[in-house]
Chain A
Amino acid sequence: MEFDHGRCSVSPGSSRSVSVSRRSFLAGSAALVALGVTGCASASQASGGGVALRFYEQKQEVIAYFDELLRRFEKSRPGITVVHDSTVAIAPQFVRNEPADVGCFNDNLELARYIKRGVLGDLSDLPSARTVRTDIGELTDQYATYPGRTSVLPYSLAAAGVIYNKKIFAKHQLPVPETWSQFVDVCDELTKAGITPVYATDRDTWTLWQGLFDYSVGSLVAPGEFFHRMKELGADVGPDSEVSFEKDFAVPMERAKTISSYFNKDHAVRAYADGNLAFGKGEAAMYLQGPWALSQIALVDPGLEIGTFPLPVSENPDERQARVNIDLGLWIPTASRRQDEARELVEFLMQPEIINAYNNDNLAYSTLTDAPAQEDERLAGLQDYVDRAAFYQGAGTFVPTSIPLGNYLQSAIRSGNFEGMLRQLDADWRRLAGRGATV
C-alpha cells in the first residue's frame, strides 16, 4: 500500500516544469503570510478588477449553507467573488490539473491520495491552524501525511454511535448499556418483548462496515495504530505477523457476529432508506448509524425521541469510545493560482463564530479548542467522548475500496464465518501491498 519503492523513472513531460513554478509561487505566498499580512489584500490585487475564486464543496445537505457563507465572505471582502463548485466527483479537477482554489471535503482515504502525492499545500502557517484541537488535527495524519505540511485543516467532526429509540427503552425499563454483557442483556430483553433489537440494512454494504464493523473494532483495537503497523508490514501480513486482521480483529468480530444475531429478519435485503423508514416508524430499538441518518429519520417522525451511545464492546465502561470522522476539512491545492485569496477564504471560514455555528447547525462538532457543546439532544450522549478525545476513526475507513469489505461482511453475516473473512482480508491486504499500483 505504501508508495515509496523506486519510483519516478518516467515522469509526464509537461507537469514537471509547471510544478516548479507552482512551488515557487507557493513559497512566495507563504512568505507573504509569514510577514503577517494574512487577511489583507495584497498590493497586486488591490488595483481592482476582481478575483474569482472556486470553492469546492459537494456535501449535498450543506450546499445551500455554504452558499450563504460564501455570499457573506464576498460582502466582507469586496473584490473577490467565489464560485461554488459542487461536482460530486473530486478526481476530474485534479486530473485536468485545474483544482478548485479552496476545497472542503470529507477526510478519508480518497483525500489521502492527494495529500500523499503532495498536491495540497501547507496551511500550518495560517493563524487559524493553531486554533484547531491537536487531537483532532492528528486524526487526518492517520490516513496520510506529506513531509513538513499540514495539508488539511479539520473543519467539522462527525461523531457516531448506536442510535436508540428512547421510548422503547423507557417502556421496557432498559438502561443504556455500559458494558458488553449489558448490551447483550438489553438485546435479549428486546427480543423477548418481540421487538427487533438492531435494524440492519445489508443491501447497502457501506452501512455494514460503517456501523457493525467499525463499532465492534473501534473500542477494542485502535484503528489508527493498527493500520499504521499493517502498512509497515505490507506484504508480510499473515497469521504469524506482529499484527493481522485474523489475530487482532478476532474478538471484535465475535462481537459483530453476536450483534448480527439480533438483526431484523429481512436484514439481507433491506437498504439504507428502508432502515431510516423502519427506525423512524419505531420498528426497531437500535440502529448502528451516524448523525447523517438523524435528519432522514426526522423526515419520518420529527417527534421521535432519539439518543446516541457508543457501543460497549468490553466489560470495562471506561473503554467505550465514539466513532468519529472528519466530515469536512479545508485544503488549498498547490496548483491554485490564487493562494492569497484562497487563504483569506479559509481564514474567514475558520473564524470561531462561523465554524462553531456551522457545526452546531449541522449535527457535528467544531474542531476548535474551546468550542461550545453540540446542543442537539439526539447527540448529547456523545459530547463527553468528543470532549475527552475518547474517539477513533472507523477501521473500515482505512480499508481501500479495492478490498470489498462491505461485501465480505455481507457474506460473513450470512454464513457466520467471520474468521474466514478476516483471513480473506489479510490475503487481500498482502496482495494489494505487493501490487504497488494502488494507493
Chain B
Amino acid sequence: MSGTTLYQKRRHTGARRGVEPLYYLFLVPTLLVFTAFVVVPALIGIFYSLTDYVRFGDWSFLGLSNYAALFSDPRILESYGFTLGFAVVTVVVAQVIALALAVALSRRIRFATTLRTVFVIPMVVSGIVVAYVFNFLFSNSLPAIATAVGFGPLEESILGNPDLAWLSIVIVSAWQTIPGALLVYTAGLTSIPTDLYEASALDGASPWRQFRSITVPLVAGFILINTILGVKGYLGVYDVIVGLTGGGPGTATSSVAMTIFGGFTGGDYAYQMANATVFLVVTALISVAQIVATRGRAVQL
C-alpha cells in the first residue's frame, strides 16, 4: 500500500495547510456511484452465498455450508491452481517481452514509430476475436506446418492436448496484453534522462550494464504497476479461454472466472457466489501482497 501511504502523508500535510472543502465535495458522486454499483451488489452477493437462492422463488439460509463444500470440491481447487499458475507464468512472459520491445523501440532504429503503432494493434482487438483467430491457427495452420516439416510433437493441435493447452492461453493472453505494458514501459523509458546513459558510456559501461544498472532500477516503478495490473487481469481470464479451449480438454484449462460464470446458467447461483466471494478475497490478498513485497523498491523511486 505504498501508494496509499504516500498519499495519506501528503493529505495530512495538506490538511494542516487547510484543504478547500470543495475537494471533498468532488468525492461525493464517486463515492455514491462506487457504493451503489460496487459495494452494495458485492454485499448482496456475499449474503446470498450463505443461502440456497437460485435468483427466484423461495430460499433458505444455509450458513457456511456452501463454503465448506467449496473447499472440498476438487474441481474448484483445480481451477484456482490453474488460474494462479497461469497468471504467474503469463505475467513473467508478457513483462519480459514488453520490456525488451520497449527498450529496442526506444533506440533510434528504423521505422520505430511505425513498429510502435503496429505493436499496439493487438490491444485494440477484442479478446474473443483474437482467441478465435488463434484457435484457427492452433487447430489448422500449426499442425499443418508441423506435419510439413515433420515435427512430431506439434502435428496434433496443442488445443487438444491437456498438458499443452494452457500454453495456448498463455501465448494469446500475453500477445494481447504486451502492447499495454509496452506503452507504459515506453513512457517510463522516455522519462529517464539521457545524460545518465551518456555519462555511463563515457565510463565505459556496456549496453547490458546500462540496462541492468540504469534502465531496470529507473523503470522499477513501471514494472511494479504493470505486474499488478497484469496479474489482476490474468486472474480474471475468461474470454480467451472460451475462444480457445472452452475450459478443456477435460477441465484442464477451467479458470475460476469460468466456474463462477457456470453457476449463473447451471442453477448453482449461491454456491458460485460463495466461490466469487473467496475469489474476491484471494485477488485482494494477492494485490496487497504484491505491493507490500515490492514496497521498498517503489519508494526508492
Contact B247 A407 (CB under 8 A): yes
From residue A89, how far is it (CB to closest CB) to chain B in Å? 8
Contact A268 B157 (CB under 8 A): yes
Most buried by B among A110, A117, A437: A437
Distance A110 CA – B265 CA, assembled complex (angstroms): 8
Residues in chain B near residue A435, CB distance under 8 A? 65-66, 69, 271
With both beta carbons as reference points, the residue of chain B lying nearest to A12 in the complex is identified as B59
Interface band, chain A: 35 or more
Complex interface residues of chain B between 261 and 282 (CB less than 8 A to chain A):
262-268, 270-271
Which B247-267 residues have C-beta < 8 A from chain A?
Answer: 247-252, 254, 262-267
In contact, B246 and A401 (Cβ under 8 angstroms): no
Q: Is A109 an interface residue (CB 8 A)?
A: yes
With A10-B61, A437-B62 known as contacts, the answer to whether A269 contacts B157 (CB < 8 A) is yes
Tell me if B209 counts as interface (CB < 8 A to partner A): no
Binds B, one of A43-51, A164-172, A178-186, A408-416: A408-416
Contacts of B252 in A (CB 8 A): 411
Compute how far the CA of A234 lies from the CA of B56 in the bound complex, rounded to whole angstroms: 24
Q: Is the interface of B mostly helix, strand, loop or mixed?
A: loop
Q: Give the residues in chain B near A114, CB-CB below 8 Å.
A: 56
* B267 and A113 contacting across the interface, CB-CB below 8 Å: yes
A428: B residues at CB distance < 8 A: 75
Question: Which has the most chain B C-beta neighbours within 10 Å: A8, A10, A203, A408?
Answer: A203
Among the stretches A91-99, A277-285, A289-297, the one at the interface with B is: A91-99
CA of A367 to CA of B142, assembled, Å: 49
Chain A's closest residue to B74 (CB) is A427
Central interface residue in A266, A404, A428, by most chain B CB within 10 Å? A404
- Cα distance A407–B249 in the bound complex, in angstroms: 6
Contact partners of B75 in chain A: CB under 8 A: 404, 428
Bound CA–CA A298/B51 (angstroms): 48
Q: List 27 A-B contacts (CB under 8 A).
A: A7-B60, A8-B58, A10-B51, A10-B61, A12-B58, A95-B56, A110-B267, A117-B56, A118-B57, A203-B160, A203-B246, A204-B246, A268-B156, A400-B267, A401-B266, A401-B267, A402-B268, A410-B248, A410-B249, A411-B249, A414-B162, A435-B66, A435-B69, A436-B65, A437-B69, A437-B268, A439-B267
Q: Known A-B contacts: A268-B160, A436-B62. Give 16 more (CB < 8 A).
A: A3-B52, A9-B60, A10-B61, A94-B57, A117-B58, A119-B56, A119-B57, A202-B249, A268-B161, A401-B262, A401-B267, A402-B263, A404-B254, A431-B72, A437-B62, A438-B52
